[in-house]
Structure 1
Amino acid sequence: MDPKTGNALTKALTVLEAAVAGPGPRRFADICADAGVPKASVHRILSTLVELGFVAAEGGGSYRAGIRMFALAEEVKAAGAGGVGEVLTRLSAEVRQTVHFALRSGDHAVYVQKVEGDRPYRMASRVGMRLPLHSTAIGKCVLAHLPPDELAAVLAAAGLPARTPATLTSSGLLAAELAGIRERGYAVDDEENETAIRCLGAPVFDRAGHVAGGVSVSTVAPLLSREELLSFVPALRAAASAVTNLLH
């Protein structure tokens, strides 16, 4: 749904997401740009969010997550610790790689949980980070399972910008890729979103059977071949199925 034409709740949630999307304070102009909501509406919504404690105002017209947002995040984290978090932890222990769970939010996805792998390196990803749909494994899983009209609307809004030389920027190539994902049940991001990072993703569905997001295994490309990554497909699909069951 386009936040410019959405209802008041859609606009408020979009502004909230944009305001807390970074590791540090966010400028008003950046929040407006990311939210795609008129400046007057953003200002009004931010004032309410600050008053409620979900957003805190910083000096110089910047904003960051407020204390109530941190409290809510801790509650969500605790609620998932024995469910989705447990599934992700088991998967990470089995494959010894970093595992993510992301949910779709409009024309992108957002990491909601992350479990670091048993490796000497750490992924730069973080909970709350926004993901393009066309260039990531989880994102392509989402696109592959959208109805045709919704898929067209998402791609029209987000486009197919090149993130790396390997990004699929042709609608024809992407369509063929999505058809393959639907057939095999998983997606591969082979340095398409970030150079030297290779990911494997499987879709997760809500209780209505609609694609909600996905689970992924991420690794450093020079240290793990594509073939080795694909050996994780059975474990990944089992984990994604378990998360789907939890969402039901």
Structure 2
Amino acid sequence: MSTDEGLESAEAAGAARGGRTSAAGTALEKSMRILEAVAAPGGPHRLTDVMAAAAVPKSSTFRILASLVEQGFVRSEGDSRYGVGPRLRALSALVSGGEPASIEQILRELQQATGQAVHLALHSGETITYIRKLESEQPFRTASRVGMRMPLHTTAIGKAILAGLPRAELRELVSATGLPRRTPRTLTTPEGLEAELETVRARGFALDDEENEATIRCIGAAIPGPQGRPVGGVSVTTVTFLVTRTEIEAYAPALLAATRALAPLL
């Protein structure tokens, strides 16, 4: 009997005992070891390598990884490879000694320069996840919150990220999501989205003009990773009845300066 078969058999026996334990450990123990394997240097890692490093059967590894991807702790990189997801990066930033203050300072300076709400989000699969929000100085509050996942094609940060992805990957994402409508202004056709992304690439930032939520207007820019691939983005958010499109676009220099400063920290 192979090691994998032995682990599967032991896990089946554990399920018969109520699913609490197995030769690979409790569900929590397995999840923690899988997270450690995903976060190990040299990632993104193949499914088989994660399975071997965590000593968890293949079926359980795949199931746990699917749940971790759904929750944003792990990111599916394609070709059966998995890397660190936005929520795990955010958790790391919270407990890290030097980064949080630097990130907070950059976001706070952008919020003070614009007087508007500021969001920091990381990219994970077909969505972005907000990991930081600074409220506006204006007498209104948006519905967004830390931990919320939002579509790529309807948000300023999401469109900025889409503009930086390889064309083949962009087509796959558009095909997978179907570009669902959230407001009457949402871009719902591949042709309309691609025309918008060409504009984003040309000017370096994206605009969400009531495409995700009525009366909400945002400007967003992507944060590039080590190889230039977007890992997330920052947005400045306001309401249409207080700030015009021309006025919010004037925040672009401050926004782009913030994304450049955040890049080495993320």
TM > 0.5 fold call: yes
Deviation at 1:181, TM superposition (A): 0.4
- 1:138–1:71 Cα change, 3 Å: closer
Deviation at 1:160, TM superposition (A): 0.6
Deviation at 1:80, TM superposition (A): 4.0
Q: Distance in 1 between matches of 2:143 and 2:100?
A: 22
Corresponding residue number in structure 2 for 1:178: 197
Corresponding residue number in structure 2 for 1:53: none
Deviation at 1:16, TM superposition (A): 3.5
Does residue 240 (structure 1) correspond to residue 238 (structure 2)? The answer is: no
Q: Distance in 2 between matches of 1:113 and 1:17?
A: 20
- 1:156–1:235 Cα change, 3 Å: same
Q: Which amino acid aligns with 1:100?
A: H
Q: Distance in 2 between matches of 1:71 and 1:237?
A: 25
Highest RCO, 1 vs 2 (Cα 8 Å, sep ≥ 6): 1
Q: Distance in 1 between matches of 2:246 and 2:65?
A: 40
Superposition map of 1:47-86 within 5 A: 74-75=94-95, 80-86=99-105
Corresponding residue number in structure 1 for 2:148: 129
Superposition map of 1:3-22 within 5 A: 7=47, 12-16=64-68, 18=70
User: Please, which runs of 5 or more residues in structure 1 have no aligned partner?
Assistant: 1-5, 22-34, 36-69
Deviation at 1:72, TM superposition (A): 6.5
Q: Secondary structure at the match of 1:181?
A: helix
Q: Distance in 2 between matches of 1:10 and 1:87?
A: 38
Q: Distance in 2 between matches of 1:192 and 1:79?
A: 36
Deviation at 1:74, TM superposition (A): 4.5
Q: More displaced, 185-194 or 238-247?
A: 238-247
In the superposition, the TM-score normalised over structure 1's length comes to: 0.72
Does residue 198 (structure 1) correspond to residue 250 (structure 2)? The answer is: no
Show CA shifts across 1:144-196 (max 9, x none).
Answer: 11001111111111111111000001111111110110110000000000001
CA contact (8 A) 2:183 2:213 kept: yes
Corresponding residue number in structure 2 for 1:87: 106
- 1:173–1:101 Cα change, 3 Å: same
Q: Distance in 2 between matches of 1:243 and 1:73?
A: 12
In the superposition, the TM-score normalised over structure 2's length comes to: 0.67
Show CA shifts across 1:1-27 (max 9, x none).
Answer: xxxxx8366753541464589xxxxxx
Q: Which amino acid aligns with 1:157?
A: A
Which residue, out of 171, 183, 186, partners 1:167?
186
Q: Distance in 1 between matches of 2:191 and 2:246?
A: 25
Count matched residues. Answer: 196
Corresponding residue number in structure 2 for 1:62: none
Larger Rg: 2
CA contact (8 A) 2:183 2:212 kept: yes
- 1:113–1:148 Cα change, 3 Å: same
Q: Distance in 2 between matches of 1:210 and 1:11?
A: 28
Corresponding residue number in structure 1 for 2:124: 105
Q: CA RMSD in A?
A: 2.7
Corresponding residue number in structure 2 for 1:65: none
Show CA shifts across 1:18-56 (max 9, x none).
Answer: 4589xxxxxxxxxxxxx9xxxxxxxxxxxxxxxxxxxxx
- 1:82–1:166 Cα change, 3 Å: same
User: Please, which runs of 5 or more residues in structure 2 have no aligned partner?
Assistant: 1-45, 52-60, 77-89
Q: Distance in 2 between matches of 1:229 and 1:11?
A: 44
Percent identical residues: 44
Q: Distance in 2 between matches of 1:241 and 1:71?
A: 22
Q: Which amino acid aligns with 1:104?
A: H
Q: Distance in 2 between matches of 1:89 and 1:163?
A: 30
